[in-house]
């Protein structure tokens, strides 16, 4: 394994434009449940039934916004209780050294930013802003909203008193066009894309590695489940922790 991690490190160093695409799997090392893993949100909820679709369903949010805040509290609003994993830290270090040009994420937990990454493209939206679905211009930042949620209350619009919604893309909403455009551009420009902790099943994010491949770039996949692009990857690993601990060691040796 160490030899192949060394090969990966050389690929990253030699790449002209390396980008990363991350999914929920990168945050499991920080204690956050993924979506489609063995104990993922899509597999079971408190009632024994899948509930992720209810958590992020726009129509359900409008009916009962408290359900979202109760269900999402453990993995969206407790960022101060969660620490970036070795994956988050190494990706930030690669960016700081100029080896990673952009980080495209499907995640909404803000751990990439907490880990030190600056060029983060959030294709599924972000909880950094909360807004009113009915009153134009009403905004609340994440820190204020999180403090309200932790107090046991709900963030509300000062004009109409309706519960504010995070700028996370829910089912029934369009993905953020600017983020999608930026992600597509980065994927097309990449001569190396690191696909990390994602099963590549949710489009349009799942199609981004295809842009890289069509333009002659290489794809490396690190995921503990199979993906549809495993056969086209120049390298494939299953254990994110092992791979990124190895990369961290190599980075430290070359300071």
Catalytic residues: 124
Residue 226: CB partners within 8 Å, gap ≥ 6? none
Region of 23 (left: φ > 0; alpha: ψ -120 to 50; beta: rest) is: beta
- Is residue 176 within 8 A of residue 151, CB to CB? The reply is no
Q: How far apart are CA 156 and CA 6, in angstroms?
A: 51
**What is the length of the chain?**
255
In the chain, where do the E strands start and end? 18-22, 102-105, 120-122, 125-131, 139-141, 165-168, 192-196, 218-222, 235-237
């Amino acid at each position: 394994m160490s030899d192949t991690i060394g090969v990966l490190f050389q690929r990253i160093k030699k790449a002209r434009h390396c980008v990363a695409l991350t999914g929920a799997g990168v945050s499991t090392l920080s204690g956050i449940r993924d979506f489609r893993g063995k104990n993922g949100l899509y597999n079971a909820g408190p009632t024994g039934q899948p509930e992720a679709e209810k958590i992020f369903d726009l129509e359900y949010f409008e009916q009962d916004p408290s359900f979202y805040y109760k269900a999402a509290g453990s993995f969206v609003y407790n960022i101060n209780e969660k620490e970036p994993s070795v994956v988050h830290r190494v990706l930030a270090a690669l960016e700081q050294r100029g080896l990673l040009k952009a980080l495209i994420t499907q995640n909404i937990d803000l751990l990439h930013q907490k880990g030190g990454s600056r060029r983060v493209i959030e294709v599924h939206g972000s909880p950094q802003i909360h807004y009113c679905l009915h009153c134009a211009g009403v905004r609340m930042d994440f820190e204020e909203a999180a403090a309200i949620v932790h107090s046991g209350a709900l963030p509300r619009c000062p004009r109409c008193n309706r519960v504010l919604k995070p700028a996370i893309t829910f089912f029934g909403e369009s993905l953020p066009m600017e983020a999608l455009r930026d992600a597509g551009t980065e994927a097309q420009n990449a001569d190396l894309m690191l696909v990390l902790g994602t099963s590549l099943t949710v489009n349009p994010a799942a199609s981004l590695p295809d842009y890289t491949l069509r333009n002659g770039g290489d794809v490396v996949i690190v995921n503990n489940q199979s993906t549809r692009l495993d056969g086209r990857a120049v390298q494939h690993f299953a254990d994110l922790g092992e791979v990124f601990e190895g990369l961290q060691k190599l980075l430290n040796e070359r300071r």
